[in-house]
């Protein structure tokens, strides 16, 4: 029997294999016990779900278990973006939230994400306890359960739409006046996911000419993972170019990640957007504070921080570490190269809807495309380019790599290693400011290689040196 294991964004597994009704009920029971022992269960729990196969059914079973434990459930009437779950936790002052989602994983997966009362991704102290309880229950199942009718009769389940409060709050976070004044033409691709009814409705509501691709539920997500990466946004890029749109906006399955297509059809990477948005929020909005980025994220944000005299917080991979800094109001913006982003005053969770709207605001306020804004920024900071590749390892190669990483290389491509960062993987910073990061996966025989340099040729050469080190 496989154990329940929470990753950086919850528990995920293949539907009907490990992600079964019984296992979902067990995890819900474990969360109920966790909240009761913390003495906060009476505050209630927000429960949502995405557009995957049977997600609403799994959410209902979670709600029934929580209700059977005497915990009030605020159950969404429709598919709910992960950032909206976080918003509702804070708005309702709830004990936490549960979203049935596997985010950008392939369609055969589903998942369960728990967010604690502070509304960011759960920290290890919470997930470790939930895991322990869940695995004990798998060995000796005793799960409470009642019917939906009984739960409703006892007032333990409150079903409602959660669209309006979030969208009203978004009007405080984004300058819609400048967007309305410019009236840009926008193309959007929710990738069949949960931003439908959120991102599209708020743009239509201010009278924009917006075209929406994949505007329906499809649990197969068109036959691929609902990830707003360059390879999955070719259709959106074509629509943007052919239709003369100002920008293309995309979100992943649960709308906590984003993808951006410039007016020329170019994919703007999350690394580039994070640096641009940081600069914009300081220079145009006048926000005070630093920036948080994961160890795998571009140092272009460090150069922007230096321009403005701001502090950089480097964190391990996992948005929970960035969310903590947002919750403490310590930073202007925080983000990861994997397309997670949030800003000062917003939820301490990744929000792809916010990121898309902020990018649109930037295009309208600056009167130029994101590419032109990036070129302008590079004039001040110098060019910075990044690359990531996944390399499959045999058991033998994996052990050899561990030994080499422990010893540490002295140089790559003739450039001396001047600093090594080991907070999450092994990051080697070179004498010219370029760097390599190698992170071994804990769940599969893969090492993730990240490289950053100042030109395409330098980047490719450095990346090849990293691959040579890994495979040699």
Do 157 and 75 fall into the same domain?
yes
Q: Is residue 151 part of a domain?
A: yes
Query: How many C-alpha atoms does 330 have within 13 Å on its Cβ side?
Result: 16
**Predicted confidence (pLDDT) per residue in 180-198, tens digit:** 999 999 999 999 999 999 9
Report the SS3 class of residue 42. Answer: helix
- Could you tell me if 133 and 260 lie in one domain? no
Q: For residue 223, is it left (φ>0), alpha (ψ between -120 and 50) or beta?
A: left
Whether residue 176 is predicted with pLDDT greater than 80 in this model: the reply is yes
Confidence of residue 46 (pLDDT cuts 50, 70, 90): very high
| 195 lies in the same domain as 343 | yes
Are residues 155 and 236 both part of a single domain?
A: no
Residue 127 pLDDT? 94
> 23 falls in which pLDDT band (50, 70, 90)?
very high
Per the prediction, the chain carries an average pLDDT of 96
Band (61; pLDDT cuts 50, 70, 90)? very high
Q: Report the alpha-carbon distance of residue 408 to residue 9 in Å, rounded.
A: 30
Q: Does 295 lie in the same domain as 244?
A: yes
Range of the domain at 461: 385-471
421 close to 427: Cβ distance less than 8 angstroms:
yes
Tell me: pLDDT of 149 over 70.
Answer: yes
> How far apart are alpha carbons 75 and 46 in whole angstroms?
6
Instruction: For 316-355, write each residue's pLDDT tens digit.
Output: 999 999 999 999 999 999 999 999 999 999 999 999 999 9
In a domain, 114, yes or no: yes
Same domain, 135 and 39: yes
Residues 131 and 177 placed together within one structural domain of the fold: no
Same-domain check for residues 76 and 152: yes
pLDDT at 12: 94
- Distances from the Cα of 283 to the Cα of 280, 309, 428, angstroms: 5, 12, 31
- What is the domain-level CATH number for residue 459? 3.30.310.50
Closest CA to 356 of 183, 165, 188: 188
C-beta separation of 188 from 250 below 8 A? yes
25 within a domain of the structure (yes/no): yes
Of the residues 352, 381, 410, which one is the last residue of a structural domain? Answer: 381
* CATH code of the domain in which 374 resides: 3.40.120.10
The tokens for 377 are 């920024």
Kind plus residue range of the DSSP H or E element containing 469: helix 456-471
Last residue of a domain, one of 351, 381, 411: 381
Whether the per-residue pLDDT at 132 is higher than 90: the answer is yes
Provide the β-strand partners of residue 260.
249, 268
Q: Is residue 153 part of a domain?
A: yes
- Say whether pLDDT at 469 is over 70: yes
pLDDT higher than 90, residue 8: no
Within-domain flag for 5 = no
Q: Is the pLDDT of residue 2 over 90?
A: no
pLDDT > 70 in the chain, percent: 99
103 and 195 part of one domain: no
Going by pLDDT thresholds of 50, 70 and 90, the confidence category of residue 472 is confident
Query: Closest Cα to residue 101, out of 151, 59, 45, 42?
Result: 59
Domain total for the chain? 3
**Is the pLDDT score of 1 beyond 70?**
no
- Grade residue 443 by pLDDT with cuts at 50, 70 and 90: low
Beta bridge partners of 157: 73
Specify whether 50 is located in the same domain as 175.
Answer: no
What is the model's pLDDT at position 282? 98
pTM over 0.85, yes/no: yes
In degrees, to the nearest 5, what angle opens at C-alpha 255 toward C-alphas 135 and 184?
175
Of residues 395 and 293, more confidently modeled: 293
Question: Is residue 134 scored above 80 in pLDDT?
Answer: yes
List of residues 6+ apart from 66 with CB closer than 8 A = 28, 31, 32, 45, 47, 73, 156
SS3 115: strand
The predicted pLDDT at position 171 comes to 95
What mean pLDDT comes out for the span 359-387? 97
**Is pLDDT at 72 greater than 80 in this prediction?**
yes
d(CA 305, CA 317): 20
Instruction: pLDDT band for 397, please (50, 70, 90 cuts).
Output: very high
CB neighbourhood size of 464 (10 A): 13
Q: Looking at the structure, tell me whether residues 178 and 157 fall in a common domain.
A: no
Q: Residue 250 CA to chain centroid, in angstroms?
A: 13
- Reported confidence tier of residue 9, pLDDT bands at 50, 70, 90: confident
Last residue of a domain, one of 327, 350, 381: 381
| CA 409 – CA 419 distance, rounded (Å) | 11
Q: How far apart are the first and last CA of the chain?
A: 37
Residue 3 domain-assigned (yes or no): no
Residue 215, in any domain of the structure: yes
Phi, psi for residue 260 in degrees, rounded to 5: -125, 135
Q: Which residue has the tokens 């990121």?
A: 355
Determine, yes or no, domain membership for 454.
yes
Please name the residue ranges forming H helices in 284-351: 300-308, 319-327
As a whole number of angstroms, the distance between CA 29 and CA 451 comes to 43
Residues 425 and 293 in one domain: no
């Amino acid at each position: 029997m496989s154990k329940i294991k929470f990753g950086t964004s919850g528990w995920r597994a293949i539907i009907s294999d490990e992600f079964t009704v019984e296992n979902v009920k067990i995890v819900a029971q474990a969360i109920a016990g966790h909240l009761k022992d913390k003495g906060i269960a009476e505050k209630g729990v927000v429960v949502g779900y995405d557009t995957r196969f049977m997600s609403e059914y799994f959410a209902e079973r979670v709600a029934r278990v929580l209700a059977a434990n005497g915990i009030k459930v605020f159950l969404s009437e429709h598919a709910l973006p992960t950032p909206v779950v976080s918003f509702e936790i804070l708005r309702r002052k709830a004990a936490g939230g549960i979203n049935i989602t596997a985010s950008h994983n392939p369609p055969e997966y589903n998942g369960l994400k728990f967010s604690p009362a502070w509304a960011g991704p759960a920290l290890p102290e919470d997930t470790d306890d939930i895991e322990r309880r869940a695995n004990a229950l798998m060995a000796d199942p005793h799960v409470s359960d009642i019917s939906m009718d009984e739960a409703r009769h006892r007032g333990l389940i409150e079903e409602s739409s959660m669209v309006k409060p979030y969208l009203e709050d978004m009007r405080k976070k984004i300058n819609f006046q400048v967007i309305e004044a410019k009236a840009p033409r926008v193309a959007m691709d929710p990738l069949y996911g949960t931003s439908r009814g959120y991102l599209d409705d708020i743009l239509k509501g201010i009278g924009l000419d917006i075209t929406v691709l994949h505007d329906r539920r499809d649990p197969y997500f068109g036959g691929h993972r609902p990830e707003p990466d360059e390879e999955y946004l070719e259709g959106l890029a074509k629509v943007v170019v052919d239709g003369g749109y100002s920008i293309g906006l995309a979100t992943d399955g649960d709308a906590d990640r984003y993808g951006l297509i410039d007016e020329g059809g170019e994919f703007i990477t999350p690394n580039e957007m994070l640096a641009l948005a940081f600069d914009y929020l300081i220079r145009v909005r006048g926000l005070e504070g630093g920036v948080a980025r994961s160890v795998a994220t571009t140092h272009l944000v460090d150069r922007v921080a230096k321009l403005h005299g701001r502090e950089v917080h480097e964190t391990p991979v996992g948005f929970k570490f960035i969310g903590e800094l947002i919750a403490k109001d310590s930073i202007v913006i925080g983000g990861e190269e994997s397309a997670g982003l949030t800003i000062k005053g917003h939820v301490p969770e990744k929000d792809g809807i916010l990121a898309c709207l902020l990018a649109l605001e930037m295009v309208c306020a600056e009167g130029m495309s994101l590419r032109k804004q990036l070129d302008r920024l590079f004039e001040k900071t110098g060019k910075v380019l990044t690359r990531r590749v996944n390399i499959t390892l045999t058991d033998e190669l994996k052990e050899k790599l561990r030994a080499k990483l422990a010893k540490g290389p002295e140089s790559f491509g003739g450039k001396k290693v001047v600093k090594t960062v080991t907070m999450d993987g092994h990051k080697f910073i070179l004498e010219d400011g370029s760097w390599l990061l190698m992170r071994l996966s804990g769940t599969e025989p893969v090492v993730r290689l990240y490289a950053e340099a100042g030109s395409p040729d330098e980047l490719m050469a450095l990346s090849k040196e990293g691959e040579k080190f890994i495979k040699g």
